[in-house]
């Protein structure tokens, strides 16, 4: 056990410092880089807070779309790796053309996956913000 | 990049020698500084104090050492010259030096164009309010002029597409994605949609390839120059309009779909009035979908360059997490 603040809270604190305090103080041409750094901290903080749920949901979605009934592993790293593997298999099958007659069905389902990525990387984007 | 830190003295001497020839006289000691931005090519600001107490400025654009880009800089130099002839506002190309020449790596010296290319400044700063009003028709006219250039005049610089331009572009970006090896099912779906929905091959024209906010130098009067021609190719001119319309290039001004400055109806009217071919909406939608696929792959590639230590940068790294933005827009367009 680590003492508080937890990892996400620490990153949020760094993001706030970079964005609100440091950014106005640096030369103009460096400000964008500081903004990027602040955003990266905020993304990682949200990823930590989201935990393993997005990987689990992606793994289940990809398995369903591939027609496989697989049990997601409990261990988070293994889960993330399996989600990546099933994404790669889905990508491979799409490229080969064997899913061409399912494009209309797959489009909204893959939007579920992309929405999960956006919730970490850019909240609000999927809702037009 | 290391070259930026270790070479300025040598580079300044080379630029000075080139300017000596161009100006028919030694310009004196030059100040060189890197202009931030350029994703794959370096841009340097070249400055010298003139006798009258003012300053003379040029821009030097060159390949980072050992880099490979889509359009060699020698061809970019030729292209910018053709664009200038066609009345497109561009920095005036002044000199080209090959690999191992006086700029070190292949590079081109151009006139310096005053203004800003930073999208949020162009879209939000009060001093550009007048520019924003003029920008949309100016972009339409510049693009119509780019597309008026006869591909036959570019035969030495750009290869003619052998086949359907839409399918060739789709194949090109499939190759780019394969080189990264990142599993992106939404992008793969987009690539299949692009193959299935390719429009009738259009008459081949010059495509700028990166015609968007960020590659326009804007001053108080609006468009001052179109820059960054390294993605130029021969293909379907509508590709440039679709690219200009993707949400990523609106930088938050989503109520104005064309580059965050205008509406598509007005843009098309201005483009056609400036001599552009009649624009088909479905074709624009196709190229907008393509643009989102392309931008998603570029983001992934930049992050890959960071991860494989081609170029270490937190900016490039962060782009890996922006792949999902064009993926989302893509899936909205094709559904």
Separation of alpha carbons B9 and B110, rounded Å: 19
Residue B164, φ and ψ in degrees, nearest 5: -70, 120
Identify whether residues B35 and B183 lie together within a single domain.
no
Alpha-carbon distance values, B287 to A18, A101, B82, B274, B290 (Å): 38, 22, 25, 21, 5
Q: CB contact, 8 Å: B125 with chain A?
A: no
Distance from CA of B34 to the nearest CA of A (A): 11
Residues B279 and B176 in one domain: yes
- Dihedral of CA atoms A52, A34, B34, B90 in degrees, nearest 10, equals 80
* Average pLDDT, integer, range B288-298: 97
Question: For position B197, which CATH number holds?
Answer: 3.90.1200.10
ipTM field: 0.96
- Residue B63 near residue B106 (C-beta atoms within 8 A): yes
pLDDT over 50 at B14, yes or no: yes
- How many independent structural domains does chain B possess? 2
Same domain membership, residue B329 and residue B182 = yes
Q: Do A29 and B36 touch (CB under 8 A)?
A: yes
- Element counts in chain A: helices (H) and strands (E): 5, 0
Span B256-273, mean pLDDT? 95
> Are B193 and B314 within one domain?
yes
B238-245 helix and B281-307 helix, angle to the nearest 10 degrees: 70
Span B51-89, pLDDT tens digits: 777 788 999 999 887 666 668 899 999 999 999 999 999
Residue in B closest to A85 by C-alpha: B183
Q: Do both B235 and B101 map to the same domain? A: no
Strand B107-111 vs strand B55-62: parallel, antiparallel, or unpaired? antiparallel
Work out the percent of chain B whose per-residue pLDDT is above 70. 96
Among the three residues B111, B129, B155, which one is the final residue of a domain in this structure?
B111
Which helix (H) or strand (E) segment holds residue A34: the answer is helix A28-50
Q: Are residues B79 and B169 in the same domain?
A: no
| CATH code (residue B45) | 3.30.200.20
Residue B50: give the domain boundaries. Answer: 2-111
| Residue where a domain stops, chosen among B91, B111, B131 | B111
Interface test with A, best of B34, B185, B316 (most A CBs within 10 A): B185
User: What pLDDT, on a 0 to 100 scale, did the predictor assign at position B85?
Assistant: 96
Please tell me the distance in Å from A95's CA to the nearest CA on chain B: 6
Question: Which chain A residues have a beta carbon less than 8 Å from that of B183?
Answer: 84, 87-88, 90-91
Question: Which residues, 6 or more positions from B192, have their beta carbon under 8 angstroms from its beta carbon?
Answer: A94, A95, A97, A99, A100, A103
Domain match, B101 and B142 both: no
Based on the domain organization, do B73 and B155 belong to the same domain?
A: no
Rounded Cα distance, B271 and B266, in Å: 9
Q: Please tell me which residue of chain A has the smallest CA distance to B315.
A: A36
Quote the pLDDT of residue B49. Answer: 83
Select from B111, B131, B157 the last residue of a domain: B111
Shared domain for B85 and B148, answered yes or no, is: no
Is residue B2 predicted with pLDDT exceeding 60? Answer: no
User: Closest by alpha carbon to A30, among B41, B42, B4, B34?
Assistant: B34
pLDDT of residue B132: 94
Q: How far apart are CA B124 and CA A4, in angstroms?
A: 40
Residue B3 has pLDDT above 70, yes or no: no
Please check whether residues B127 and B255 belong to one and the same domain: yes
CB contact under 8 A, A36 and B315: yes
Cα gap A68→B283, rounded to integer Å = 37
> Is the domain of B43 the same as that of B182?
no
Residues B31 and B106 in one domain: yes
Q: Is B5's pLDDT higher than 50?
A: no
Computed over every residue of chain B, the mean pLDDT equals 92
Helices B165-180, B281-307: crossing angle, 10 deg rounding: 20
Residue indicated by tokens 């119509």? B144
Q: What is the 3-state secondary structure (H, E, C) of chain B?
A: CHHHHHCHHHHHHHHHHHHHHHHCCCCCCCEEEECCCCCCCEEEEEEEECCCCCEEEEEEEECCCCCCCCCCHHHHHHHHHHHHHCCCCCCCEEEEECCCCCCCCCEEEEECCCCECCHHHHHHCHHHHHHHHHHHHHHHHHHHHHHHCCHHHHCCCCCCCCCCHHHHHHHHHHHHHHHHCCCCHHHHHHHHHHHHCCCCCCCCEEECCCCCCCCEEEECCEEEEECCCCCCEEECCHHHHHHHHCHHHHCCCCCCCECCCECHHHHHHHHHHCCCCCCCHHHHHHHHHHHHHHHHHHHHHHHHHHHCCCCCCHHHHHHHHHCHHHHHHHHHHHC
pLDDT digits (tens, 9 = 90+) for B117-141: 999 999 999 999 999 999 999 999 9
Cα distances (Å, whole numbers) of residue B233 to B23, B83, B91, B147, B229: 33, 13, 19, 11, 9
What is the per-residue pLDDT across B20-38, written as a single tens digit (0 to 9) for each?
Answer: 999 888 888 899 988 876 6
The ranges of chain A with pLDDT < 70 are none
Residues from chain B contacting residue A126 (CB–CB below 8 Å): 328
- Residue B149 C-alpha from the chain's centroid: 17
pLDDT of B7: 67
């Amino acid at each position: 056990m680590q003492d508080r603040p937890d990892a996400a809270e620490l990153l949020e604190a760094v993001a706030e410092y970079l964005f609100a305090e440091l950014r106005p103080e640096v030369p103009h041409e460096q400000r964008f880089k500081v903004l990027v750094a602040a955003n990266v901290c905020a993304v990682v903080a949200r990823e930590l807070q989201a935990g393993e749920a997005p990987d689990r949901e992606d793994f289940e979605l990809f398995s369903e779309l591939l027609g496989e009934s697989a049990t997601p592993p409990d261990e988070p790293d293994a889960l993330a790796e399996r989600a990546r593997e099933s994404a790669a298999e889905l990508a491979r099958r799409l490229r080969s053309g064997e899913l061409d007659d399912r494009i209309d069905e797959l489009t909204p389902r893959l939007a579920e996956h992309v929405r999960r990525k956006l919730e970490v990387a850019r909240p609000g984007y999927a809702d037009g913000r | 990049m290391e070259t930026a830190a270790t070479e300025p003295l040598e580079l300044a001497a080379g630029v000075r020698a080139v300017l000596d020839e161009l100006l028919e006289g030694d310009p004196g000691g030059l100040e060189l500084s890197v202009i931030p931005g350029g994703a794959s090519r370096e841009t340097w600001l070249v400055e010298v104090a003139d006798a009258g107490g003012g300053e003379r400025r040029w821009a030097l654009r060159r390949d980072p050492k050992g880099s490979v880009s889509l359009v060699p800089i020698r061809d970019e130099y030729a292209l910018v010259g053709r664009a200038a002839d066609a009345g497109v506002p561009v920095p005036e190309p002044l000199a080209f030096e090959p690999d191992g020449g006086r700029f070190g790596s292949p590079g081109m010296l151009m006139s310096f164009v005053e203004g800003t290319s930073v999208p949020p400044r162009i879209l939000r700063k009060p001093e550009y309010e007048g520019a924003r009003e003029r920008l949309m028709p100016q972009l339409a006219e510049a693009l119509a002029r780019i597309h008026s250039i006869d591909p036959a005049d570019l035969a030495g610089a750009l290869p003619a597409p052998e086949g359907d331009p839409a399918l060739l572009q789709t194949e090109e970006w499939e190759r780019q994605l394969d080189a990264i090896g990142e599993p992106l099912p939404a992008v793969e779906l987009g690539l299949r949609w692009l193959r299935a929905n390719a429009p009738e091959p259009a008459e081949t024209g010059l495509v700028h390839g990166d015609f968007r906010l960020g590659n326009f130098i804007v001053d108080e009067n609006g468009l001052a120059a179109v820059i960054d021609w390294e993605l130029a190719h021969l293909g379907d001119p509508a590709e440039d309009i679709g690219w200009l319309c993707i949400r990523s290039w609106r930088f938050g001004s989503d109520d104005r779909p064309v580059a965050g400055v205008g509406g598509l109806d007005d843009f098309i009217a201005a483009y056609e009035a400036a001599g552009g071919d009649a624009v088909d909406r479905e074709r624009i939608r196709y190229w907008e979908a393509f643009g989102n696929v392309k931008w998603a792959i570029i983001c992934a590639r930049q992050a890959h360059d960071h991860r494989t230590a081609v170029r270490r940068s937190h900016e490039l790294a962060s782009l890996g997490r922006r792949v999902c933005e064009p993926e989302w827009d893509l899936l909205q367009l094709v559904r």
